[in-house]
Amino acid sequence: MTAIDASAPPERLEWQLAQVRDIVAETYRVKSFMLEPVNWTGHLPGQHVDIRLTAEDGYQAQRSYSIASPSEDKLLTVTVERVTDGEVSPYLLDELRIGDRLELRGPIARHFVWTSGSSGSLCLVAGGTGITPLMAMLRHRDRSSCHTPTVLIYSARSRADIVYREELEGMARHDTNLAVIYALTREQAKDWAGHRGRIDRPLLAANCFPPAQNPAIYVCGPTDFVESVAGVLVELGYDPLSIKTERFGPSGGLSHGK
Amino acid sequence: MANNFSDLLLGGDAGAHLVQQIFAPDVTLARIRCDACKGETGIGALTLYAAPMGAVLKCCDCDNVLMRVADTPHGLWLEMSGALNVRF
Amino acid sequence: MDEAHISRGFRSKRQTQAAKDRLPPGQYVTTDFPILSAGPTPQIDVSRWKLALQLGGSLLGTWTWEAFETLPQTTIRTDIHCVTKWSKLDTTWQGVTFDDLLKVVGLSEPPEPYVMAHCDGGYTTNVPLADLIGGKAMVATRYEGLPIAPAHGGPARLLVPHLYFWKSAKWLRRIRFMPTDERGFWESLGYHIHGDPWKEQRYDGD
């Protein structure tokens, strides 16, 4: 890792307002929001923000979302997936408009960060909207013309559920050092030639850089997904200390929906 | 919201379409005479109000309601008592 | 930041469910306030504003703006339902109830069973007295504590929130008592003569 001083005490972050500047529908259940905070001091790829909503009666709800944009971007992007019966994601996806303002604070968390100054190869493993912080890393890698050998293994329900698909394929086309591999768990289409089903041991073994290379590994997604993938990677011989994880969902920290 | 009827029809406005679908010829080329002030204008030049409840066309000169159209599950309604006549 | 920024349109899940219970059939909740007008927005000068209560050939009462503002004021918090399917919950209005208007002109009972509301711009709508008395309706002059904006019917509109909102006539000028029900602007163009959202009386024939 690079310029982060891991021993510095975390600053006390204050809530600030961010204006919604653009909204992009990524898939039928996922939208990205481009935000302009009042006073943003910058962030590292992989970090997240807390967003807080307050109703007129004072009721508050707060969720964490990974930042999907690289530090090079002017606006801050968060990508949100609809959670049925959720409290916050329906508000963001259905009610929020360009021009509205949101309260946020961040950037938060230094453990799940990658910057292009890092040496060595890179394995990114995403489950569903776990792609978000990894996308910040990939976008940063792309913007800084970094050629670190990188592989992304991305598990989604179907082709229609792959977030940022065109952008990922564009990056892979232009960069021989980047490979993008999808594992589709529910795709029905007969012309899908890629991996069907969950990310499993053979897929990881075949696509991750070998343990001897000691790649930096980042795994992000629902808690079960992360535990299962991390477990397999350890079995395959990767150093547990080189595997960084970010868990979403009820028993994890981040929400990415709900 | 006020807008020129011809422009709205060309732009695919639902209220304008509601009016046109009643008539066989191009309604924007028709001329309508107000029963209140007796002034005559091209329907295309009239201002259209009130969609989505219905379409209301008013006289440019005296604001009298010339024509009203509403589409309901029980039928398409047309009322033109504010117009003396329409010439296609 | 001392106070949290209120997120426009955000409600707790519990509140959202409660909201669904308050909706008449076929309606959805909106947090903005759509404007539907059958004509251009009249720019009414309050110094020239008058409201009249008419029975047959005579006026039972007329008020200038100043006089109207001295009448007993009532504030209500209510839901409103538009026939185009949006409903807006918890809207606050202030004005003079129809009961108070009748009292002020010395009537202990309505003289006829129906009224026609006449408005600037020519709009009309008919309402039975049964839907106006007993606190059910008012002539409203304030919305959310502020004077009603012209686009929303200011300076004064009829407010009959338990009927579809086309009955809450904007730019009210005259309330005419009628012995029989007559159809107003939309009621004579295919819309229901009564307009009760709980019975989904949207169109003539429903």
CA dist A243 and A24 (Å) reads 32
| Total number of domains in chain B | 1
- Are A126 and A66 in the same domain? no
In a domain, A184, yes or no: yes
| C190 contacts on B by Cβ (under 8 Å) | 54, 70-72, 74-75, 77
pLDDT interval class at A142 (50, 70, 90): very high
Identify the CATH number of the domain in which residue A60 sits. Answer: 2.40.30.10
Structural domain count, chain C? 1
Buried-exposed string A72-84: b where 16+ CB fall within 10 A, e elsewhere = eeebbbbbbbbbe
Kindly report the average pLDDT of chain A as a whole number. 89
Distance from C-alpha of C96 to C-alpha of C79, rounded to nearest angstrom? 18
Same domain, A93 and A134: no
Interchain touch C–A (≥3 Cβ pairs closer than 8 Å): yes
Q: Is the pLDDT reported for residue C87 higher than 60? A: yes
Distance CA A132, CA A112 (A): 12
Domain-located, residue A172: yes
- Closest by alpha carbon to C69, among C162, C118, C165, C139? C139
More confident residue, A243 or B14: A243
Indicate if A96 and A128 belong to the same structural domain: no
Does one domain contain both A238 and A151?
yes
pLDDT tens, position by position, A56-115: 878 889 899 999 999 999 999 999 999 877 889 999 998 999 999 999 999 998 889 999
pLDDT digits (tens, 9 = 90+) for B28-79: 999 999 999 999 999 999 988 866 789 999 998 888 999 999 999 899 999 9
A47 and A97 share a domain?
yes
Whether the per-residue pLDDT at A24 is higher than 90: the answer is yes
pLDDT tens digits for A171-207?
999 999 999 999 999 987 888 888 999 999 999 999 9
Going by C-beta distance under 8 Å and a sequence separation of 6 or more, which residues neighbour residue C82? C34, C36, C164, C165, C166
In a domain, A133, yes or no: yes
Percent of chain C that is helix, strand, coil (3-state, to 5): 20, 30, 50
Structural domain includes residue A159: yes
Residue A92 and residue A175 in one domain: no
Handedness of CA A71, A75, A81, A87 (dihedral sign): positive
Interval A4-16 mean pLDDT: 61
Angle (CA) A251 A252 A258, round 5°:
85
**In this complex, which chains have at least 3 CB pairs below 8 Å with chain C?**
A, B
Q: For residue A12, name the pLDDT band (cuts at 50, 70, 90).
A: low
Residue A8 lies in a domain: no
Structural domain contains residue C36:
no
Say whether pLDDT at C22 is over 50. yes
Q: Report yes or no on A240 lying in a domain.
A: yes
Q: Domain limits at A41?
A: 16-108
- Best to test chain A binding among C1, C2, C7 (most A CBs inside 10 Å): C7
Q: What is the pTM of this model?
A: 0.57
CATH number at residue C62: 3.90.420.10
Number of domains in chain A: 2
Write the CATH number for A200: 3.40.50.80
Please report whether residue A170 resides in a domain.
Answer: yes
DSSP E strand stretches across A122-225? 122-127, 150-156, 178-184, 195-196, 216-222
Residue in B closest to C38 by C-alpha: B50
Per-residue DSSP letter, B25 = S
The domain of C52 spans 26-31+48-199
H-assigned helices in chain C: 13-21, 65-69, 98-104
pLDDT at C156 over 50: yes
Residue B19 neighbours by CB under 8 Å, 6+ apart: B5, B9, B27, B48, B55, B57, B67, B69
Residue A168 and residue A180 in contact, taking contact as beta carbons nearer than 8 Å: yes
Instruction: Identify any residues that bridge with C178 across adjacent strands, giving them in sequence order.
Output: C114
Chains within contact range of chain A (3+ C-beta pairs < 8 Å) = C
Q: What pLDDT sits at residue B51?
A: 64
Check whether residue A163 and residue A45 sit in a common domain.
no
For residue C111, whether the previous peptide bond is cis, meaning omega lies within 30 degrees of 0, is no
Same domain for A166 and A72: no
Residue A112's φ and ψ, nearest 5 degrees, are -110, 65
